[in-house]
């Protein structure tokens, strides 16, 4: 299979599009849901006290997932008394491998429209 040359302007336009924002928000929501379904349960605060959203960065949309419980970092990475959960590593791997692929139909239509305007 040969290399594919991408139009960097087209990619840049896509990364700033509303369709890209929806894909990024979906991935952030999946991260939040994975955390909620796999975090340790004691009081339930770590499951409930999270947020997921997209932010406009310099080069396009970025997904953000935050666990707000003050002890979430200790649970994630561990201490000398608590084994770390390492859920962020799991979440990253799931998103990178596309375990739950978004519907790219809308994205492809947007790219076609952008390309027609060039």
* 34 vs 93: CA distance, rounded Å: 12
Domain presence at residue 112: yes
Residue with tokens 């492809």: 108
Q: What is the pLDDT of residue 5?
A: 64
Q: What is the pLDDT of residue 3?
A: 63
Whether the Cβ atoms of residue 96 and residue 78 lie closer than 8 Å to each other: no
Provide the domain limits for residue 28. 8-116
Domain presence at residue 43: yes
Would you call 103 helix, strand, or coil by DSSP? coil
| pLDDT tens, the chain, 118 aa long | 556 566 777 778 888 899 889 988 988 898 888 888 888 888 888 888 889 999 998 888 888 888 888 988 888 899 999 899 998 888 888 877 765 555 544 555 555 555 555 5
Residue 87, judged by CB atoms within 10 A of its CB (0-12, 13-18, 19+), counts as buried
Domain presence at residue 3: no
Q: What is the pLDDT of residue 14?
A: 83
Domain presence at residue 1: no
In total, how many domains does the chain have? 1
């Amino acid at each position: 299979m040969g290399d594919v040359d991408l139009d960097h302007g087209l990619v840049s336009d896509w990364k700033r599009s509303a369709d890209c924002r929806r894909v990024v928000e979906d991935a952030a929501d999946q991260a939040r849901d994975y955390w909620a379904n796999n975090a340790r349960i004691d009081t339930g605060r770590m499951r409930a006290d999270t947020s997921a959203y997209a932010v406009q960065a310099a080069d396009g949309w970025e997904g953000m997932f935050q666990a707000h419980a003050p002890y979430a970092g200790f649970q994630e990475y561990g201490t000398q008394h608590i084994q770390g959960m390492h859920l962020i590593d799991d979440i990253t791997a799931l998103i990178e491998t596309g375990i739950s692929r978004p519907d790219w139909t809308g994205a492809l239509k947007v790219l076609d429209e952008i390309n027609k305007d060039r």
